[in-house]
Amino acid sequence: MNQIILISGTKGSGHLEMALALCERFDRMLLIDSDDLRRMIKAGFRYPWHTDKQSIEQDELNVMNASVIALNACSKRYSAIIIDSIFSEKLEWYKKSLAGTEIDIQFITLMPQLNVIEEKLLDSPLLEYSKSVHKKISAEIEAKILSGLVIDNSNDLTPSVTADRVQDVIARGLALLDLSN
């Protein structure tokens, strides 16, 4: 069954490694990394932590591009995983870009404890940005602004363990995204 799986998480959450492990379990899977799409911008590039109009525009462009690529993959009987740091505003962009499809879309956020992210990114220049993303996603989840299923993968020993958990959630349809609202 082809489907689109949105995997959200900040740097240090293990979302890329888990997505790679999940891809190994399927015959026809495409992995779309929103960071790769963003790096395709060569003139006028803005980092995701910028908050100006051009950076927001690039975020929306990434969502639209990732969605089109995923839908095209599904039209050829592939499934697609999109990894991104998804806040409520960005989730609405995904819903708009994916609206009208009959394809199952699942939305899962990996949310390890903040200390796990801090350990993984200890010497990284991305640590402060990742902490702010973690805080924002956590606040939106707590306020029930951000839908989807949340998995705390703090104690998972490997990305494969997290992929097992995600695969189970997907198989049971526990993370289906409602595109109607």
Domain ranges of the chain: 3-171
Residue 1 confidence (pLDDT):
63
Own/partner pairs, 87-96, CB within 8 angstroms, 24+ separation: 87/136, 87/137, 87/140, 87/146, 88/140, 88/145, 88/146, 90/59, 90/63, 91/6, 91/146, 91/147, 91/148, 93/59, 93/60, 93/63, 93/64, 94/6, 94/63, 94/67, 95/177, 95/179, 95/181
Q: Name residues of the chain where pLDDT drops below 70.
A: 1, 181
- What are the C-alpha distances in Å from 174 to residues 35, 169, 177? 27, 5, 9
pLDDT at res. 98: 95
What 8-state DSSP symbol labels residue 176?
Answer: B
| pLDDT, tens only, 136-173 | 888 988 888 888 899 999 999 899 999 999 999 999 99
Please state the pTM of the whole predicted model: 0.92
Tell me, what's the pLDDT at 181?
63
Cβ neighbours for 84, distance < 8 A, ≥ 6 positions apart: 6, 7, 8, 34, 62, 63, 66, 90
Q: Under CATH, to which class is 3-171 assigned? A: alpha beta
Which pLDDT score, from 0 to 100, does residue 45 have? 86
DSSP letter for 109, please: E
